[in-house]
């Protein structure tokens, strides 16, 4: 599916100010945990390339990324703004402190790795980079990553007219429809402005996940742009999308690209 638009970096860098959206995920915490995609093993290998043992997961949510690092032997502490999301992560054995990362205090603790999966755009990129620098050992790394999906052409041709009719505002920017907002640029600008890190690098990891109609609809209902729709319009959208996927056999393979932004703490 051809991306419909690229969202300007300035618009994306303001997402953290929309607290209603930023803190909306807890209402669907269990669904979020089962429906949201995980991350490819190659990404986890890249996160662990420098041998970190202590990890701070910013915006850890239900612990989707945290558990992958814990399974590799890391000691992981999560910071999560929503207590309901934090409880799901705790049920997996992840220690979580509930706070906005900009307000969270390390209290002298230092980590080898600060990471954030699917969450850094909800953090002020400048204040967040400074807080991450406070929490890292010299030589420690900040790793920020996001999943971007591009529906295959057949799915795109089915979904485009549905979104154009029911919810054109989502069609203009939803990453689930193949759009590429520039959240990475905002993150890089924040890291660079802190003057505490070396030059950030970017890497991409390609992978895919198979969805059934029900699992795709389950995921759609966890995204803040979809959840912000009036209930009647969301119901209409989900019914139309579900019927469209059913019409091609009820499943499809979704190609993903996970984008990683990485930098090393150089001054303490």
Question: Which residue from 65, 59, 57 is spatially nearest to 40, judged by alpha carbons?
Answer: 65
Full set of structural domains in the chain with CATH? 9-148+180-207+257-264 (3.40.50.150)
Residue 166 vs residues 91, 170, 180, 226, 244: alpha-carbon distances, Å: 38, 9, 21, 11, 14
Average pLDDT (73-83) is 97
Please, which pLDDT band fits residue 9 given cuts at 50, 70 and 90?
A: very low
- Asked whether the predicted pLDDT for residue 178 surpasses 80, the reply is no
Q: What rounded mean pLDDT belongs to the chain? A: 90
| Residues across the chain | 268
Please give the Cα distance from 139 to 135 (Å, whole number): 12
DSSP, res 23: T
Please, which pLDDT band fits residue 10 given cuts at 50, 70 and 90?
A: very low
- Asked whether the predicted pLDDT for residue 230 surpasses 50, the reply is yes
Q: What is the pLDDT of residues 208-224, one digit of tens each?
A: 999 999 999 999 999 88
Q: What is the pLDDT of residues 180-189, one digit of tens each?
A: 767 899 999 9
pLDDT of residue 227: 87
Please, which pLDDT band fits residue 1 given cuts at 50, 70 and 90?
A: very low
| Stretch among 4-8, 107-111, 211-215, 249-253 having the lowest mean pLDDT | 4-8
Residue whose token pair is 């154009």: 164
Instruction: Confirm if 245 and 252 have CB atoms less than 8 A apart.
Output: yes
Backbone angles phi, psi at 79, to 5 degrees: -120, 125
Average pLDDT (102-113) is 97
- Asked whether the predicted pLDDT for residue 22 surpasses 80, the reply is no
Please, which pLDDT band fits residue 19 given cuts at 50, 70 and 90?
A: low
Please give the Cα distance from 164 to 61 (Å, whole number): 31
Average pLDDT (156-181) is 84
Average pLDDT (147-159) is 92
């Amino acid at each position: 599916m051809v991306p419909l638009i690229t969202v300007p970096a300035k618009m994306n860098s303001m997402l953290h100010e929309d607290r209603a959206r930023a803190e909306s995920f807890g209402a669907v915490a269990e669904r979020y945990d089962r429906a949201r995609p995980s991350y490819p093993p190659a990404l986890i290998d890249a996160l662990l390339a420098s041998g970190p043992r202590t990890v701070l997961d910013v915006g850890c949510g239900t612990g989707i990324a945290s558990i992958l690092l814990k399974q590799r032997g890391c000691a992981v502490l999560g910071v999560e703004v929503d207590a309901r999301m934090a409880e799901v992560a705790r049920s997996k054995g992840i220690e979580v402190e509930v706070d906005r990362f900009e307000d969270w205090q390390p209290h002298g603790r230092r980590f080898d790795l600060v990471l954030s999966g699917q969450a850094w755009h909800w953090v002020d990129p400048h204040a967040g980079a400074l807080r991450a620098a406070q929490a890292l050992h010299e030589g420690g790394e900040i790793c920020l990553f996001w999943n971007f999906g591009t529906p295959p052409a057949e799915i795109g041709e089915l979904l485009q007219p549905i979104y154009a009719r029911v919810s054109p505002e989502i069609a203009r920017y939803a990453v689930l429809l193949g759009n590429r907002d520039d959240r990475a640029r905002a993150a890089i600008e924040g890291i660079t402005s802190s003057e505490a890190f070396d030059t950030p690098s970017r890497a991409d990891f390609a992978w895919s996940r198979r969805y059934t109609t029900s699992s795709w609809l389950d995921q759609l209902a966890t995204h803040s742009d979809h959840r912000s729709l009036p209930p009647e319009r969301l119901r209409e959208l989900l019914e139309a999308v579900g019927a469209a996927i059913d019409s091609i056999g009820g499943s499809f393979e979704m190609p993903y690209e996970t984008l990683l932004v990485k930098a090393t703490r150089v001054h303490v």
